[in-house]
Amino acid sequence: MYPRKRANWGVLRAAIALLCATWASICQAGPREQAHRIHDRLVGIPPSATVLDSMAAKVASGDAIGAANEAMQNPAFYNTTVRELATPWTNRDRSVYAPLNDSTATVIGMVRDDVPFDEVLSGDIIYVGSTAATNVAYSQANNDHYLALQNNRVNLASNANLVRQTQSTLPGTPLAATETAGIMTTRGFAEAFLIDGTNRAAVRFATLNLMCMDMEDFRDVTAWPDRIRQDVSRSPGGDSNLFLNDCLGCHAGLDGLAGAFAYFDFDNTSQQLVYTANNVQAKFLREATTFPYGYASTGDSWINYWRSGPNAFVGWRGPGSGAGPKSLGQELAQTRQFSECQVRNVFEKVCYRTPNGAADLQAVQTIANSFEANNRSLKRVFAETAVYCMGD
Amino acid sequence: MNDTTIMTSTHARGYRLGLSSVLSILVVSLALGGCVSDDGGDVSSSVPPPTGSPPPNPNPPPGTPPPGTPPPDPGPPPPVDPNPPVPPPPATDVEAFQRTLHPLLRDPGNFCVGCHGATQIPTFAVADAVAAYNVIVSQQKVNLDDPDLSRVYLRPSVDRHNCGANASCDEIAAEFLAAIQAWIQIRPAPTPSQQTLMSSKTSFAAGMAGGAGRADANLVAKFDFDEGQGTVAADTSGVGTPIMLQVTGMEWVDGGLRNVSGKAQASVAESRKLFDMITASGQFSIEAWLIPEDTVQAGPARIVTYSINPNTRNFMMGQQATLYRFRNRTAASNANGDPFIEAATQDVQTQLQHVVMTFDPAVGRKTYVNGQVTAQEAAQTTLAWTNDQIFVLGNEPTNDRLWKGVFEMVAIHDAALSSAEVQQNFEAGAGDYVTLSFDVSGILGNPARIDMLATQLDDKGYVFARPTFVSAATGIRVKNIRVAVNDSVPVAAQAFRRVDTTVLQSGTELSPLGALIPVAQGAEMDQFHLEFEVLGGRTGLAESIAPSSPPMPPADVTDPSFGIRSFSKISDTMSAITGIAANNAAVSALFTEARDSLPATDDILGFGSSQQLAIQRLATAYCGQIVANATACSNFFGACTIAANGKTQIADRLYDRIIGANLANQPDRAAVTTEVVDAMNDLGCTNGCTGATATTALQATCAGVLSSAAVTIN
């Protein structure tokens, strides 16, 4: 639905078309070639001869999903493919090169264990390395534990190495179970998006990465403005038209949602996530004199002003309002847009392109339906998408 | 628009015409040329051809009537209706929009439809007129009270937003403006009855001057800096002889006065008002709304001073880097007002701040920043002022203590403002708030009104803040308040929509917030009223909800169905194929070095030649580790030497291990074998080779196949 901007690569497209014409076999696929492609796309490496034979037989018998499931047993699916999917979600540059951290590991574990993926924004869940996997203990104050897992190339497909735990019971955590919200309350997320600033970045990147919608996509100047904080100038540069036509469109909804993070911060000195129950962080009240009649946060309540109006198409099915990031995560992750976004994210990883055209868009809908009907299994999305793109 | 205008217009926009437009003009020109030729016989007979024009054709084509022959009778002209049918007025506002502005928005020559007619928000140029209308109206892209303030007009006329050169933008803007004006002319009359719960109307002229928000009972002087131009900043307090500050080295900004290199200075005589009134009361306050330019200026830099030089004064509000400094000449101080007081921690910010310094002989000095005490003393003393000092803003009279920043308001009081009064003035803001009263007695049946603080924030917007219910009636429910301007309710920034409360006593503040309401015709002309969803026992209408507007589907552009392996996958793949662990020291070192040069994603459209070089280097490293170990080398290639007749066998092994056997979508085995054998021959193994020559050839051919598209593209 939101194709990334690209330069005009017409020349390269033409070259690729020529390649297809002269190397016609690359564009043809029987069961063996389809199995090979499924494996390549899901795992990132070619299959062994044994696995290829087995997968090809499944494809030939009409069980392409079974073939995909067999491919996903390869550890590289988790160590590389899923990690590459989740790594850009951990940093503001959306770099795929960022190191493994608790946020990425949690996504990997959730896919591996088929945890309903909407919990990625609301669950009391985290994955840590076992003592067998590394002797570097998990710490609230650094990422050394996960760096050790990465540097030692620990097999994350093994539940003996990567273990599911609850955030609220980790040593040193400031969070109770009701205050956790999946990857949004991990140390890695806090270091990237709750550090400094105003915590609006937490909402912006959560929607950007997991709903495939940036603030510009939500832009709605008709949304109710009463949660826009005092630090937003109503007359930027002396022109209130700018506020009415531009700033308002994002801040009306964004500030309403970002209230969920009013008790959160990331301490640059201790390098830890900070949570101050019932005490609004100073960053929420900063620059109050910019517009004294703006909203002054008094708690961590949030409200979604994008549920009706232009953004109704998002398909909101969550609580609509609440307090803290857990309920906010439910609000975001229970949307239809969230489901479709997971398919789009996987589609780009597995099909190597942004879905476009009627067939692709229909496939996104179909696979999103399946995602919702199958306990929001992201692993199944991988399998179905790989089958859709296995060629014919 | 007359013909001349049309011609000028066409000329000015000529470069914007697309091919179809050019062809259209060509057709029209040819047709017009034909018309001139057809009925130009008489003309040509009476008007000589222009110099340089070709002579009449002496050999006209067959069938052409001879010169002077009257044209054939076209028959009786069709009857001319003296009263051509006039289209009925539009029944709806949408229809009026559809007849006027919408076609222009859809015209590709006006550049809107290319983006805003499809996916780019706001989608006001989509083909569906109702959808476009909803966007145009709900997002305030037009101002039907003052078309000159319409966004769709200002974007080309002022912002020059995607409209070509200036002439083109001007023409598009003029057309849009004319269309909006035409829309206003033909649109059906508004139906205010749709909003049945309306307060009475009011305006700024009816507002209570000074507002209800400020504590100004003891003003001596006040400067609002609303002049906007000139060399004088006037005292607006209305108390005694006004102090007229002479402005030098400062520039007027929206709502204030920025000191760049000068000062605003009063005469000694006019400054005397301060001495007279304040020494009479024995106490005073200096109050300012200001924006410091930085947090490093020092001296201290003089913000407000009543002095004659850097060492002699009555009082001073100054800035010493990150701290506000307060000097006051008393029986306990020196002539400079020292010892000063200042905060223990930073209280200067480079943003709009409300700073108040008070002196009370019973308790001493206090400094407030944004309503909070930041510095204070406990020292009973009395003023010891002299009457020869000069009141100056932004510097000393001697010009050697420059303060740089913006003044938005300065006031001097002959009383020490209490904490509550300081807070009150802080909450009242920097602007000139007035209190507007909206009478709702007609709705409630009892005397009642809603008061709001209001000010003009800038030339585009008003702020309406803190609605307060005033009535003896109690138990009144108030829900969803909207501020209307000239009978129209702006859709954006209505901050009181969520108000839903039952008032139990008069004076109840309904909301602490402020709403930004766009200016329509200006503060002198605009009339305001309030609308409610519920007031008392009566129910009105809530505003309509804008329709859902999902983005348009992306263009159906076929992308390649295959891609390039990303950096991790390339390394993983090479490791899997060669059997060399990815964390092998040599391989790992090269991967770390070359990682960012490898493809970051699987998107083949982002693939570049430099990435292929990195892939080649990595493949060479992996293959180098194979040949470095005799056992691994033999296992991989069959032998670590190359026999003259064994090259095809080696090529076959490379094909099976690296490219994969029995895959129809991989390159032809024979072709690959030929290339591999040729490579070994080129590397000195035509007749077979051993030792370093062999391992070099094996490593090279291995790397060549391993880094090929057969491996990296899938």
List, for residues B44-71, the tens digit of each pLDDT value: 333 333 333 333 343 434 444 444 444 4
Mention every residue, 6+ apart, whose C-beta is less than 8 A from residue B42: none
Mention every residue, 6+ apart, whose C-beta is less than 8 A from residue A170: A126, A128, A138, A140
Residue A364: list chain B partners with CB under 8 A.
none
- Greatest mean pLDDT among A260-274, B340-354, B491-505, B512-526 lies in A260-274
Question: Per the CB < 8 Å rule, is B601 touching A96?
Answer: yes
Which range has the worst mean pLDDT, B104-118, B361-375, B629-643?
A: B104-118
Mention every residue, 6+ apart, whose C-beta is less than 8 A from residue A293: A230, B429, B463, B465, B466, B495, B512, B513, B514
Structure confidence at residue B488 (pLDDT): 85
Query: Is some CB atom of chain B closer than 8 A to the CB atom of A220?
Result: yes
Residue B63 to residue B54: CA distance in whole angstroms: 21
Alpha helical stretches, state H, A44-142? 49-60, 64-71, 75-76, 83-86, 102-112
Of B427, B495, B559, the CB nearest to A225: B495
Structure confidence at residue A194 (pLDDT): 98
Q: Which residue of A has its CA nearest to B498?
A: A226
Query: Looking at beta carbons, which pairs linking B248-252 to residues 24 or more positions away fall under 8 Å?
Result: B250/B394, B252/B225, B252/B227, B252/B228
Question: Per the CB < 8 Å rule, is B595 touching A97?
Answer: yes
Q: Which residue has 């006037």 as its token pair?
A: B234
Alpha-carbon gap: A68 to the closest alpha carbon of chain B (Å): 16
Amino acid identity for residue B653 in this structure: R
CA A136, A137, A140, A141 dihedral sign is negative
Structure confidence at residue B80 (pLDDT): 53
Structure confidence at residue B16 (pLDDT): 35
pLDDT at residue B34 tops 50 = no
Residue A278 to residue A255: CA distance in whole angstroms: 18
Structure confidence at residue A326 (pLDDT): 98
What is the 8-class DSSP label of residue B383?
Answer: B
Of A36, A235, A308, the CB nearest to B457: A235
Is residue B81 very low, low, confident or very high in pLDDT (cuts 50, 70, 90)?
low
Residue B305 φ then ψ, to 5°: -140, 150
What are residue B451's DSSP bridge partners? B437, B468
Q: Are B153 and B140 in contact (CB under 8 A)?
A: no
Instruction: List the structure tokens of B434.
Output: 């007035």
Query: Is some CB atom of chain B closer than 8 A to the CB atom of A97?
Result: yes
Residue B453 to residue B436: CA distance in whole angstroms: 6
Question: Per the CB < 8 Å rule, is A310 touching B549?
Answer: yes
Question: Per the CB < 8 Å rule, is A44 touching B566?
Answer: yes
Structure confidence at residue B2 (pLDDT): 36
Q: Residue B288 class from Cβ within 10 Å (0-12 exposed, 13-18 middle, 19+ buried)? A: buried
Which range has the worst mean pLDDT, B319-333, B429-443, B582-596, B655-669?
A: B429-443
3-state secondary structure B195-243: CCCECCCECHHHCECCCCCCCCCCEEEEECCCCCCCCEEEECCCCCCCC
Structure confidence at residue B255 (pLDDT): 67
Is residue B28 very low, low, confident or very high in pLDDT (cuts 50, 70, 90)?
very low
Structure confidence at residue B6 (pLDDT): 32
Question: Per the CB < 8 Å rule, is A294 touching B545?
Answer: no
Question: Per the CB < 8 Å rule, is A235 touching B461?
Answer: yes
Structure confidence at residue B526 (pLDDT): 93
Structure confidence at residue B99 (pLDDT): 93
Q: What percent of chain B has pLDDT over 90?
A: 61
What interface predicted TM-score (ipTM) does this complex get? 0.88
Mention every residue, 6+ apart, whose C-beta is less than 8 A from residue B527: B201, B202, B203, B485, B486, B487
Q: Which residue of A has its CA nearest to B512?
A: A293
Residue B662: list chain A partners with CB under 8 A.
32
Of B549, B565, B577, the CB nearest to A44: B565
Structure confidence at residue B231 (pLDDT): 95
Residue B39 to residue B42: CA distance in whole angstroms: 7
Q: Determine which of B562, B705, B708 to mutate to test the interface with A (most A C-beta atoms within 10 Å).
A: B562
Residue B219 to residue B704: CA distance in whole angstroms: 88
Q: Are B125 and B119 in contact (CB under 8 A)?
A: no
Instruction: List the structure tokens of B304.
Output: 């407000």
Instruction: List all residues of chain A from 351 to 380 with a beta carbon under 8 Å from chain B.
Output: 351-354, 356-358, 361
Residue A203, Cβ neighbours under 10 Å: how many?
Answer: 26
Alpha-carbon gap: A307 to the closest alpha carbon of chain B (Å): 10
Is residue B209 very low, low, confident or very high in pLDDT (cuts 50, 70, 90)?
low
> Is the bond leading into B339 cis (omega within 30 degrees of zero)?
yes
CA dihedral of residues A209, A212, A215, A221 (deg, nearest 10): -150
Residue B494: list chain A partners with CB under 8 A.
224-225
pLDDT under 70 in chain A at which residues? 1-28
Alpha helical stretches, state H, chain A? 10-22, 31-43, 49-60, 64-71, 75-76, 83-86, 102-112, 144-151, 187-189, 200-210, 215-218, 240-242, 248-258, 325-333, 336-350, 357-373, 378-388
Which range has the worst mean pLDDT, A208-222, B30-44, B319-333?
A: B30-44
Query: Is some CB atom of chain B closer than 8 A to the CB atom of A320?
Result: no
Residue B552 φ then ψ, to 5°: -70, 150
Residue B490 φ then ψ, to 5°: -60, 140
Amino acid identity for residue B707 in this structure: S
Question: Per the CB < 8 Å rule, is B495 touching A391?
Answer: no
Which range has the worst mean pLDDT, A328-337, B240-249, B661-670?
A: B661-670
Q: Which residue of B has its CA nearest to A16?
A: B560
- Rounded to 10 deg, the angle between the A102-112 and A378-388 helix axes is 70
CA B470, B471, B473, B479 dihedral sign is negative
How many beta-carbon pairs under 8 angstroms link A with B? Answer: 236
Structure confidence at residue B119 (pLDDT): 64
Q: Are A16 and B560 in contact (CB under 8 A)?
A: yes
Short-list B495, B503, B288, CA closest to B409: B288
Instruction: List the structure tokens of B451.
Output: 């008061």
Structure confidence at residue B91 (pLDDT): 80
pLDDT tens, residue by residue, B539-564? 988 877 777 888 877 777 777 888 99
Q: Are B627 and B695 in contact (CB under 8 A)?
A: yes
Q: Considering chain B, what is the average pLDDT of its residues?
A: 84
Structure confidence at residue A15 (pLDDT): 40
- Residue A379: how many CA atoms within 13 Å on its side-chain side? 21
Residue A225: list chain B partners with CB under 8 A.
492-495, 515-516
